Amino acid sequence: MEKNLKELQPLNEDKFFEEFEPLEEDARRERLQNIIKERNDILDSNRKLFGRAKEAEGFKQDEDGNWIKTIEKKPEAKKTDKSDDKLLERFNKLARKTAGVVEDDEVEFFNKWKKDNGYENIDDDEVVIGKKGFQTEFADFRTAKANLAATSNIKGEKGELGVKNTPEYWIAKATKGADGKPVFPEETPPELFPAILAKLGENEPGANKGKLKFHNT
């Protein structure tokens, strides 16, 4: 009995024996069980606290109860490689140049078409340039641009008023309607309607068939 009590290591052995010896056998047994339970609870609590401290230090307990240092792999930081963005911009610029999208107004037309048709999230401009709808509308845009440039050459001879009195000027100002036919601006002079129709017939046979749209008619 004395050996077991020594293993318990009570805080005050003298006081413990003074209280323990007068007790009956059942009371002694109950007293020892309470002390053992209290001791085991303290040991269990200490083990848990120790385990938490070791885990916080990066250790993990194996099946044999040994604490082993674990090496945690840190996730690689996402690289924001600006060189990739620059390379993509160079490819896009080359794709636009190959397609003839060079001048500022042509680039502006491309960016607007890209946004209006829902392709603004596509980073590869070559994909957008390959769309049949873009190729058709860009060709119309360049034709109108060329016509306007051609009529502008007359400006020095006839002046601004003379340029506006030519069918070529208003044909260059026209846009394409949903039905594919030219739509002329509201300020198109009515007296030029016949000349415009005749000019369209010369440039594109059959283009003047059907009703054209003039905003002031």
In DSSP terms, which residues pair with 69 in a beta bridge?
59
> Residue written as tokens 């109950």?
30
Answer whether residue 10 shows pLDDT above 50: no
Residues 91 and 83 sit within 8 Å (Cβ to Cβ): no
Q: Please check whether residues 97 and 202 belong to one and the same domain.
A: yes
Q: Please check whether residues 49 and 88 belong to one and the same domain.
A: no
For residue 27, tell me if it sits in a domain. Answer: yes
Q: How far apart are CA 45 and CA 38, in angstroms?
A: 11
Percentage of the chain modeled with pLDDT above 70: 73
**Which range, 27-36, 68-77, 105-114, 149-158, is most confident?**
105-114
Q: Please check whether residues 30 and 112 belong to one and the same domain.
A: no
- For residue 3, the model assigns a pLDDT of 39
Q: Please check whether residues 93 and 64 belong to one and the same domain.
A: no
For residue 76, tell me if it sits in a domain. Answer: no
Q: Please check whether residues 145 and 62 belong to one and the same domain.
A: no
Count of domains forming the chain: 2
Q: Please check whether residues 108 and 147 belong to one and the same domain.
A: yes
What is the arithmetic mean of pLDDT over 10-20? 63
Q: Please check whether residues 121 and 207 belong to one and the same domain.
A: yes
- For residue 22, the model assigns a pLDDT of 78
Least confident of 35-39, 140-144, 156-160: 156-160
What residues make up the domain containing 48? 2-69
Q: Please check whether residues 195 and 92 belong to one and the same domain.
A: yes
For residue 131, tell me if it sits in a domain. Answer: yes
Report the number of secondary-structure helices (H) and strands (E) in the chain.
10, 5
> Residue written as tokens 């390959």?
130
- State the alpha helices, DSSP H only, in the chain: 2-8, 13-20, 25-56, 82-98, 104-116, 125-129, 132-152, 155-164, 167-173, 193-203
Q: Please check whether residues 110 and 203 belong to one and the same domain.
A: yes
For residue 75, tell me if it sits in a domain. Answer: no
Answer whether residue 94 shows pLDDT above 80: yes
Q: How far apart are CA 60 and CA 57, in angstroms?
A: 9
Q: Give the residue from 45, 69, 93 where a domain finishes.
A: 69
Say how many CA atoms lie within 13 Å of 47 toward its Cβ: 10
Structure tokens at 151: 């009529």
Q: Which residue has the higher pLDDT, 87 or 8?
A: 87
Q: Please check whether residues 43 and 133 belong to one and the same domain.
A: no
Q: Which amino acid is located at 22 in the chain?
A: P
Q: Please check whether residues 99 and 52 belong to one and the same domain.
A: no
What is the arithmetic mean of pLDDT over 62-68? 78
